[in-house]
Structure 1
Amino acid sequence: MYPEAPCAGAIRNPAAGLPALHQKISSRILIHSQKNTIPWRPVMHYLANLFQQSSDFEAYATGYFQRVNELARKLDLGAVRRAMEYIGKTRQNGNALYFFANGGSAAVAAHWVNDLMAGANEPGKPAFRAYCLSDNTSTVTAIGNDSAFENIFRDQLRAYIRPGDVALAMSVSGNSENIIRGLQAARDAGATTIGIAGMSGGRMPACCDVFILIPSTADEYGPVEDLFSLLEHLITGWLTMSAGKWMHHG
């Protein structure tokens, strides 16, 4: 029997750790609501408030792009660099990379594997061995049906992962049970764990050797997933060009 993840503790308040951000948003929205008498949602819903403040689609789009840029500037680049280094070492050491996530984040995980395998690797040179645990629908649905959806990543990692490998998970909330169990399984096997999450990080930081926070409010699934893609392209592009391969074709 495997013990359940000790990192699966109580869910933290999504507002924890973001007082400055919320104060900034709150004051901005309060001024707007007083001026225009438009009802506004709690500060935990940045996009809803942005929508209410926007006079038209162009104004909303401008605010959205500004918000993505703001979130990018809040990233801990030291943590991003450490994640890049762990990923890069697997290529030199012959270790494997396992990516996993749910929903739209799973699409980013698959994209990350694509860019490492089809974009970064070159014949005759050390190669990335990258796998997306969300992609095999037969395996995912079998585990989900026969065991539990919470175990779809845990059970795969127990079979595949080895010491020295890297497991990288993405979650907007940081609280998805299948993500937490997957990270713990990777840790139990002696692998390095990397997590990227939005909001306040939820339960994910306690399960990760490297954790990247995208500090956001409760309705910012789109901006957080945009940052997942940005980080994927940033890290993979750097590792690709550092190995002497340029990003252009032809």
Structure 2
Amino acid sequence: MNNFFNGYINSLKNLLDQIDVSILEEIISTLERTSEKKSKVYVVGNGGSSATASHMANDLGIGLRRRDIRNINIVSLGDNSAVTSAIANDIGFENIFYMQLKGILQPDDVIIAISCSGNSSNITKAIEYAKEVGAKVIGVTGFDGGKLKELSDVNFHVDAPKGEYGLVEDVHMILDHMIYSYYIEKGKCNVR
């Protein structure tokens, strides 16, 4: 049992050591431009990635706004089960994010797409639409990155072995907390 846990911890440490901080800087710059332009950030994901999307919307939205640190207009498109289940039932699961973006997504908006495989049809359809509109795409991927990695303007990639969902999702959640913690620390520096 100890061998398993030590192995998992070591694998997670190795993945964290591989993080390219210049990608974090690109993500922060993109979020700041979006905030300054009063544009919107949409976050999408399935399963555990949907939970990370919700957590990210909470942290980077209300979490920063209530502290008067940064006003990021951010929403997780998986949070309304009535909307997502109606779209899935009526016109197909592959449309649950695309249909919420259709006609309202603007070129200055940003999509943060979180997907371990990068190949989920509902994610890729929304991203293809975002590219048509001219919105910026931040991909958060794992394994080989799939189609999402190819379509992303900025890609935060976790190069874990295929099937290691726990490790990839762990690092994706840490990404959210690194961005949030960066802003919290920056907010402390601006307090006089």
* 1:44-94 residue CA offsets vs partner (Å, 9 max, x unmatched): xxxxxxxxxxxx2x2211111111111111122222221121112222221
Q: Percent identity?
A: 32
- Residues 1:123 and 1:238: Cα distance change in structure 2 (over 3 Å): closer
* Residue in 1 that maps onto 2:47: 103
* Residue in 1 that maps onto 2:21: 77
- Residues 1:112 and 1:135: Cα distance change in structure 2 (over 3 Å): same
* Residue in 2 that maps onto 1:214: 158
Once residues 146 and 118 of structure 2 are traced to their aligned partners in structure 1, the CA distance between those partners, rounded to angstroms, is 4
Q: How many Å apart are 1:245 and its aligned residue?
A: 7.5
* 1:224-247 residue CA offsets vs partner (Å, 9 max, x unmatched): 00001000000122123324489x
- Residues 1:238 and 1:155: Cα distance change in structure 2 (over 3 Å): same
Once residues 68 and 130 of structure 1 are traced to their aligned partners in structure 2, the CA distance between those partners, rounded to angstroms, is 28
Say whether residues 1:159 and 2:100 are aligned partners. Answer: no
* Residue in 2 that maps onto 1:139: 83
Q: Which has the higher contact order (CA 8 A, sep 6+)?
A: 1
Counterpart of 1:128, as a letter, is: I
Counterpart of 2:116, as a letter, is: V
Segments ≥4 residues shifted beyond 4 Å:
123-126
- Residues 1:244 and 1:215: Cα distance change in structure 2 (over 3 Å): same
Give the match's secondary structure for 1:83: helix
* 1:144-190 residue CA offsets vs partner (Å, 9 max, x unmatched): 11111011111111133212111001111111111111111112222
CA contact (8 A) 1:101 1:169 kept: yes
Say whether residues 1:201 and 2:112 are aligned partners. Answer: no
Once residues 88 and 193 of structure 1 are traced to their aligned partners in structure 2, the CA distance between those partners, rounded to angstroms, is 14
* 1:24-53 residue CA offsets vs partner (Å, 9 max, x unmatched): xxxxxxxxxxxxxxxxxxxxxxxxxxxxxx
- Residues 1:65 and 1:150: Cα distance change in structure 2 (over 3 Å): same
CA contact (8 A) 2:54 2:79 kept: yes
Say whether residues 1:173 and 2:117 are aligned partners. Answer: yes
* Residue in 2 that maps onto 1:9: none
Once residues 62 and 215 of structure 1 are traced to their aligned partners in structure 2, the CA distance between those partners, rounded to angstroms, is 19
Once residues 108 and 92 of structure 2 are traced to their aligned partners in structure 1, the CA distance between those partners, rounded to angstroms, is 28
TM-score (norm 1): 0.71
Once residues 185 and 135 of structure 2 are traced to their aligned partners in structure 1, the CA distance between those partners, rounded to angstroms, is 26
CA contact (8 A) 2:64 2:70 kept: no
Once residues 62 and 128 of structure 1 are traced to their aligned partners in structure 2, the CA distance between those partners, rounded to angstroms, is 38
Aligned length: 190
Asked which structure has the greater CA Rg, the reply is 1
* Residue in 2 that maps onto 1:11: none
Question: Structure 1 residues 171-180 or 181-190, which shifts more?
Answer: 181-190
Note the aligned Cα RMSD (angstroms). 1.8
CA contact (8 A) 2:69 2:187 kept: no
TM-score (norm 2): 0.92
CA contact (8 A) 1:92 1:126 kept: no
